[in-house]
Structure 1
Amino acid sequence: MRSRHDATVSYVSLQGTLSIPARANAIVVFAHGGGSWRLNYRTQQTAKALQQAGIATLLFDLLTYGEQADDSVTAGYRFDIPLLARRLAGTLAWLREQHDASTLSIGLFGVSTGAAAALVASGNLPEVRAIVSRGGRPDLAREALSLVTAPTLMIVGEFDEEAIRLNRGAAEQMACVRDLEIVRGATHLFEEPGTLETVERLAVQWFASHLAPSRED
Structure 2
Amino acid sequence: MSFSGRDDDGAAGVVEHTVGLEVHGTGTIHGDLALPDGAPGIVLFAHGSGSSRHSPRNRRVAEALQRRGLATMLLDLLTDDEERADSTTGHLRFDIGLLADRLHTAGAVLADQEGTAGLPLGYFGASTGAAAALVAAARAPGRVMAVVSRGGRPDLAGDALGLVQAPTLLIVGGLDTQVLELNEHARAQLPETCELEVIPGATHLFEEPGALDDVARLAGDWFLAHAVPPSGG
* 1:130 aligned residue: 146
* 2:128 aligned residue: 113
Q: 2:68 aligns with which of 30, 53, 63?
A: 53
- Give, in angstroms, the shift of residue 69 of structure 1: 2.5
Q: 2:157 aligns with which of 141, 146, 157?
A: 141
* 1:25 aligned residue: 40
- Give, in angstroms, the shift of residue 38 of structure 1: 1.5
Q: What is the TM-score with the length of structure 2 in the denominator? A: 0.88
Please say if 1:168 is aligned against 2:181.
Answer: no
Q: What is the TM-score with the length of structure 1 in the denominator? A: 0.94
After superposition, residues 201-212 of structure 1 pair within 5 angstroms as 201-212=217-228
* 1:8 aligned residue: 21
Letter in 2 for 1:204: G
Q: Is the 8 A contact 2:146 2:223 kept in 1?
A: yes
SS of aligned partner of 1:39: coil
SS of aligned partner of 2:53: helix
After superposition, residues 32-71 of structure 1 pair within 5 angstroms as 32-71=47-86
Q: Which moved more, 1:62-71 or 1:33-42?
A: 33-42
Letter in 1 for 2:165: T
When the two chains are superposed, the root-mean-square deviation of aligned CA atoms in Å is 1.5
Please say if 1:194 is aligned against 2:210.
Answer: yes
Letter in 1 for 2:204: H
Percent of paired sites with the same residue: 49
Q: Is the 8 A contact 1:157 1:184 kept in 2?
A: yes
- Give, in angstroms, the shift of residue 32 of structure 1: 1.8
- Give, in angstroms, the shift of residue 82 of structure 1: 0.6
Note the residue ranges of structure 2 that are not aligned, 5 or more in a row: 1-13
Note the residue ranges of structure 1 that are not aligned, 5 or more in a row: none
Q: Which moved more, 1:6-15 or 1:198-207?
A: 6-15
Aligned CA distance change for structure 1 residues 86 and 213 (closer, same or farther; 3 Å): closer
CA distance in 2: counterparts of 1:70 and 1:192, whole angstroms: 33
